[in-house]
Amino acid sequence: MFQFIDDGTITSVNGFKAAGIHCGIKKRKKDLALIYSERSCNAAGTFTLNKVKAAPILISKKIIENKNKVKCILINSGNANACTGEQGHNDAIRVQEHLAAKLGLDPREVLISSTGVIGQPLPMETVLNGINKIYDIVSYDGGLDAAEAIMTTDLRIKSYALKVRLSVGTITIGGICKGSGMIMPNMATMLAFITTDAEIDQPVLQELLSDTVDQSFNKITVDGDTSTNDMVILLANGVSGININKHTYDYKLFAEALSAICEEMAKSIVVDGEGATKLIEVSVNNAKTLKDADKIAKSIANSPLVKTAFNGGDANWGRIISAAGKSGADFNPLKAEIYFNDLPIMMPNYRIVIDELKAAAILNLDQFSVSLDLNDGEFSTTWWTCDFSQEYVKINANYRT
């Protein structure tokens, strides 16, 4: 009931405009993005659980919690405005107020977001001049420019949209995101901005987003680090005139479509992981509880030993069962089975049935799955991770240069 749009983006959604420009925070690349809705939106958001939160997070989180209507989101890249104290907070407020004045809005209608280097003051003159340039050039063709402007170490633009056929008509969902390293629930140095022309009450919108994020963005990991700046924002402007109410068939269809686009964005972050060469799906099946399943999948997906083995195409199954064992989950290792794709590796009672040549061939693919069947219950989960390469070290050793 939904279909992805070729070259889709946030401005594939009716009533949304966007722009992305280079304002001077970075040396050459685009670094300022603006997403703007012609109509006021209901807004939902999820935010980092890191105790160290950047100033834009605190400001935008309060707007969402107060259920304020929202008209736009301003995002800068290259500077996180995190760990910048009172000055950073005042700078963020000034940025918000400056854009609001340009657009004739109440500052509470303006969400703000930053990503980049931590601990450096926001270059205010540069950002304010950027606002002076960007506020009146937003367009229906600006979604991809905005997606480019929020990137930091990303190697590719991450932009998607899909059409959803409901019982009373068709609505659209669009999204852009950024993230490559410092990726780990809850959540990561990732930003995601999602738009829809459906009309959805704010409490329902928030519930939809929270549930979806838990099954997508909160099940990816690149390196196990949680950031100070991450957020996922969902704006619904209602331009389609189609209202989506809870406990209806259309609600179910919308939830499925939202899940699909968020999962696609989440996986795109892992694929673009710093130095990553492989996308690995980690499935844990038949656990006693969902909590146990997630603990084990997270432990495997985060293990540097597992991830380096994957990079080298080494079918080192011992690292996988060891990572499961240290997770703190309740399971009986003697019942466990391990598979690479559909290839059996380890059977119950540690019976090793690995075909080294076939296993190595799977691990040298760009994408593959690792499954751990616990044979101990009825709960399952899926996470996504990537391998660790030498390039990851190079990127993060020189991030500020």
The C-alpha atoms of residue 297 and residue 219 are separated, in whole angstroms, by: 9
Under 8 Å between Cβ of 383 and 297 = yes
Active site residue 152: no
Helix spans in 303-383 (H): 304-311, 317-325, 356-363
Contact (Cβ atoms closer than 8 angstroms) between residue 183 and residue 153 = no
Phi, psi (rounded to 5 degrees) for 386? -140, 175
Residue 40 has φ and ψ, to the nearest 5°, of: -60, 145
From CA 353, how far away is CA 52, in angstroms rounded?
47
Radius of gyration of the chain (CA): 22
- Angle value at C-alpha 148, between 143 and 149, nearest 5 degrees: 95
**Cα separation of 225 and 220, whole Å?**
11
Do the beta carbons of residue 144 and residue 19 sit within 8 Å? no
Torsion of CA 1, 371, 313, 224, to 10 degrees: 80
Comparing CA positions, the residue from 269, 265, 9 lying closest to residue 162 is 9
What is the C-alpha to C-alpha distance for residues 367 and 87, in angstroms, rounded to an integer? 45
Give the CA angle between residues 88, 70, 39 to the nearest 5°: 145
CB atoms within 10 A of CB 245: 11
CA distance 149 to 307: 30
- Give the active site residue among 11, 84, 189, 381: 189
**CA 83 to each of CA 91, 282, 330, 400: distance values in angstroms, whole numbers, following the listed order:** 13, 34, 38, 16
Cite the active site residues: 189
